[in-house]
Amino acid sequence: MQKDKLSKNKYVIITGASRGMGKAMAMLFASEGYHLRLCARNEDALRKTAEEISGAFPNVEVKYNAEDLSGKEGAEKIGEWLLELKTPIDILINNAGTFVPGSVHNEPEGALDQMLSLNLYAAYHLTRKLLPAMMNQSDADGSRGHIFNISSIAALKAYANGGAYSISKYALNGFSKNLREELKPFLIKVTTVFPGAVLTDSWGDYDNSSRRIMEADDIAKMVFAASRLTPQACVEEILIRPQLGDL
């Protein structure tokens, strides 16, 4: 199929879109002609990302809204904004997340609450807000949308210093599994993405000159590929690790 036929009037919603994997996914979908609806907490960073994408791909419609999704109110505000725009929810990428290192016995007080609020509840509340509209929409091929939940390898294997982060990602995985089963009859796809170490801001000034860990573009390419299958095919899980394994 040709790019124009596939991406014409298609819309991608991405949370945590101002940097890292979210920005990489936004750039890739825009390069293929998809219109974007972007959300992140930092308004300045989000605006710069939106302007960068618009400058590189002037035919792509980019709208953005800065909001803290760690609370139910913020997630519902973004949902209401999207519904008011009457945006078709072709692809929803729940990417917003946070990481605080530590073990259960010594991590900062409130770490679990903080990470559950953004790593789980943001996806839960935004998805719930948008699902009625998704269930009632229909593309020309009969599909009703695709949800990607960006989890982590920490949702599959506990590791030292993972603590509450790992717990929150295990919970997100459970959310995704339930969604997948519930939404089959509605022809809405659900894909959970489990990246290993990816070079994002959470790695600080990590020297990746040896290419020990993955790049954000690697994750973007896998998500994009999974989104392009026929309506009768669904990639349920994407597990991607550095070539040399986990750190």
Q: Which residues pair with 198 in a beta bridge?
A: 214
Question: Would the pLDDT of 4 be above 50?
Answer: no
**pLDDT tens-place string over residues 122-144:** 999 999 999 999 999 977 677 89
**pLDDT tens-place string over residues 164-214:** 999 999 999 999 999 999 999 999 999 999 999 998 877 777 888 888 889
**Integer Cα distance of 238 and 214 in angstroms:** 14
Question: Would the pLDDT of 5 be above 50?
Answer: no
Give yes or no for a contact between 64 and 46, defined as CB atoms under 8 angstroms apart.
Answer: yes
Give per-residue burial for 172-206: e unless 16+ CB within 10 Å, then b: bbebbeebbeebeeebbbbbbbbbbbbbbeeeeee
Per-residue pLDDT at 209: 84
Q: Which residues pair with 38 in a beta bridge?
A: 14, 64
The domain limits of the chain are: 3-240
225 by Cβ neighbours in 10 Å (0-12 / 13-18 / 19+) ranks as: exposed
**pLDDT tens-place string over residues 26-74:** 999 999 999 999 999 999 999 999 999 999 999 999 999 999 999 999 9
For 3-240, CATH gives 3.40.50.720
Which H helix or E strand runs over 224? helix 216-227
**Integer Cα distance of 54 and 191 in angstroms:** 28
